[in-house]
Amino acid sequence: MSIDPQKKMDLLVSLCKRRGFIYPGSEIYGGFANSWDYGPYGSQLKKNIRDAWWKRFVECRPDVVGVETPIIMNPKVWEASGHLATFTDPLVDCKRCKKRFRADHVAEAAGREAGSTDLTGLVCPECKGEFTEVRNFNLMLKTYIGVTEDATSVAYLRPETAGGMFVAWKNIRDSLHRRLPIGVAQIGKAFRNEITTGNFIFRTREFDQMEIEYFVKPDQGAAAFERWLADMKSWCEDVLKLKPEHLVYHEIADEDRAFYSTRTIDIEYHYPFGVKELYGLANRTDYDLSRHQDASKEDLRFLDPETNERYIPHVIEPTWGLDRTVLVTLLEHLDIDEAESATGDAEPRMVLRFPPALAPVKAAILPLQKKGGLPEVATALAETLRSHGLATEYDESASIGKRYRRQDEIGTPWCITVDMESLTDQAATIRDRDTMAQERVAIAEIPAWIEAKLRK
Ligand code: GAP
C-alpha cells in the first residue's frame, strides 16, 4: 500500500510508543525537547544492531581493535581538534517572534542550494518577521568539573567519539606493536547542542555513534577509502537489508569538503522527510594526528618496520550514527497495509519485517488454549529456547489473531502455536511472519530450526 510519507512517520512514532520501542523522554514532566527513551523492544533492537556492528567490524577483522574512551576529556583535546573554534552552526533569530533557526535549513527549505546560508529576501517561516544577521553558534555542550563553576573548571561533553581514539593513538601504537593498517573502533554517546532537532530520533542532542579511525600508510589512503566504501555498502544492504535504491552515495565536492579532507562521501537515505545523511566516510589525511602532535608535543608518528621511516599515518574515518541506524531499520522494514477492524472499518495493519538477526524477539510461543496441559508444554518450550540464548516471549492472552498482530507489530519472525495435537505428536506449528507459511516441527527440533534460519 502506498502511503503518504508524513503519515508513515506518524504511524511509526505511534507504533514505537504503543508497542514499547521508543517513548518521548521525561514524559511525566511534560517531556524534554527531543529526548527519547528506548523501551524494552527499542533497546533490544539497538543492542542487536550495535552487537552486529561490533562483531562484523571489530571481532571478525584482523585489522581493527576496539576502545572505550571518556565522554569528558581534557578540554585541550577540543582546542587541538579545532572543535572549540569551528564546530559551529549558522543561526538566525526572528526579530518578531524571537524563534531561532539554522540559516542553512531555512535557505534549503526555500529552495536554495544545500549548505547555503544566503537568506536575502527570506522571512521567518513562522510569522513572516525579519531575520537578524547570521551568527555562528558553537555546538559543544559545556559543563563544569568539581566544586567551582568558573573558567578553570570548564569541560565539554564530546561531540563525537573520534577525538578519544586520536588521543589514545599513542598508547594503542605502543601497546600493540602492529603493522599498519590499524583500525580503532568505538561505540558511544556523543553530544551536540543542536538547534534544529526533530524528525523523531534523526537529530537529537544526545546520540550514539559507531566510529572507526583507520590508520594507514600515507600512500594507502585512497585504496583503504574504496574498501571502506564497499564495507559500508555491504553493511547497509546485507546486514540492515536496506534497498539499494533507498541509499544515495553523495560525493562531497571539493569546495564543500573540510580543507584537510581529500575525499568525503555522505551516505544518505530516502527518509519520509527527505534525502538526508545516514553515515559518512572521510579521508582525513594526517590532519588530526598532526594537530594533536603539535598541541601535545608528543611524537605521534609511526615507525615503519619495513622502511625504518617515521611518519604520521593518514586516517580513513567511516562513521555510523547508531540512532539513525535504528530509525532506518524501523522505516525500511515497516510494512503497512489495510485490514478490517472489529467494527468493520479499514485500519492500518503494520508488520515490522526486520532481518531476523536484528529482531528484538526471535520467537513467540502461543498456546491455543489456557488449559488442558498446553501452557505447561508451551512454557517449557519457551524456557528451552531462552536457554539457547534466543529471546522468546510466551503469550496466552487474547485471541490468536490478536496475539499474531502484536508479534507482527514488534517484528517477531516466528510465532509457534502449541495445540491439543502437540500433546500427542510432540510437535508445534511455526508461522513465518513474512510468508505466513505454517510448518509443523517436532518440539525437540525447534531450537535448531530457529538457529539454522538465523544463520541464513
Ligand atoms: N567523527 C565524524 C563525525 O562525527 P558527523 O557526520 O558529524 O561526523 C557522524 O557524525 C554520524 O553521527 C552522522 O552520519 C549521523 O549518523 C550521526 N549524527 C550526527 N549528528 C547527530 C544528531 N544530532 N543526532 C543523531 N545522530 C547524529
87-101 mean pLDDT: 91
Q: Is 182 left (phi over 0), alpha (psi -120 to 50) or beta?
A: beta
Average of per-residue pLDDT values in the chain: 95
Atom of ligand 1 nearest to the CA of 192: 23
- Of 71 and 101, more confident: 71
| Cα→Cα distances 29→25, 40, 42, 197, Å | 9, 21, 22, 20
149 pLDDT above the threshold of 90: no
Q: Which fold has domain 5-73+148-329?
A: BirA Bifunctional Protein; domain 2 (3.30.930)
CB contact set of 33 (below 8 Å; sequence gap of 6+):
197
Residue among 339, 335, 322 nearest 401 (CA): 339
Alpha-carbon span 146 to 149, nearest angstrom: 8
97 pLDDT above the threshold of 80: yes
317-324 mean pLDDT: 98
98-106 mean pLDDT: 90
Predicted pLDDT of residue 146: 86
Strand partners, 336: 350
2 C-alpha vs ligand 1 centroid, how far in Å? 30
204-221 mean pLDDT: 97
Torsion angle, alpha carbons of 335, 338, 340, 346, to 10: 130
342 pLDDT above the threshold of 90: no
Burial letters 93-115, b for 16+ CB under 10 A, else e: bbeeeeeebbbbbbbbeeebeee
Predicted pLDDT of residue 145: 92
> Cell 566504501 identifies what position?
229
163 C-alpha vs ligand 1 centroid, how far in Å? 13
The verdict on domain 361-455 having CATH code 3.40.50.800 is yes
102-109 mean pLDDT: 89
Cα 279 to chain centroid, rounded: 9
- What confidence tens digit (pLDDT) does each residue in 157-209 have? 999 999 999 999 999 999 998 999 999 999 999 999 998 768 999 999 999 99
- What confidence tens digit (pLDDT) does each residue in 224-262 have? 999 999 999 999 999 999 999 999 999 999 999 999 999
Alpha-carbon span 104 to 137, nearest angstrom: 13
- What confidence tens digit (pLDDT) does each residue in 63-76 have? 999 999 999 999 99
199 C-alpha vs ligand 1 centroid, how far in Å? 15
284 C-alpha vs ligand 1 centroid, how far in Å? 16
Question: Alpha-carbon Rg of the chain, whole angstroms?
Answer: 26
Q: Which of the listed residues 49, 319, 320, 322 should we mutate to test ligand 1's pocket, taking the one with most ligand atoms within 8 A of CB?
A: 319
Alpha-carbon span 181 to 169, nearest angstrom: 13
Atom of ligand 1 nearest to the CA of 266: 14
Q: Tell me the H-state helices in 310-354.
A: 322-333
Cα 304 to chain centroid, rounded: 36
Predicted pLDDT of residue 1: 65
36 pLDDT above the threshold of 80: yes
Task: Kindly state the percentage of the chain with pLDDT values over 90.
Answer: 85
Cell numbers linked to 231: 564495507
Predicted pLDDT of residue 333: 98
Residue 364 phi, psi (nearest 5): -120, 130
Atom of ligand 1 nearest to the CA of 209: 12
Give the confidence band of 337 by pLDDT, cuts at 50, 70, 90: confident
Amino acid, single-letter form, for residue 368: L
Predicted pLDDT of residue 148: 82
**Poorest-confidence range of 94-98, 149-153, 201-205, 357-361?**
149-153
Atom of ligand 1 nearest to the CA of 280: 14
HEC letters along 346-366: EEEEEEECCCCCCCCCCEEEE
Pocket residues: Cβ below 6 A from ligand 1: 160, 162, 192, 194, 203-204, 207, 209, 211, 277-280, 317, 319, 321, 323-324
Atom of ligand 1 nearest to the CA of 160: 4
Torsion angle, alpha carbons of 176, 161, 186, 197, to 10: -170
Minimum CA distance residue for ligand 1 atom 7: 160
Predicted pLDDT of residue 198: 80
156 pLDDT above the threshold of 90: yes
> Could you check whether 5-73+148-329 and 361-455 share the same CATH topology?
no
Alpha-carbon span 221 to 239, nearest angstrom: 26
Strand partners, 24: 36
Predicted pLDDT of residue 340: 73
110-132 mean pLDDT: 89
Predicted pLDDT of residue 78: 97
- Of 33 and 160, more confident: 160
List the chain domain ranges: 5-73+148-329, 361-455
pTM over 0.75: yes
Predicted pLDDT of residue 197: 66
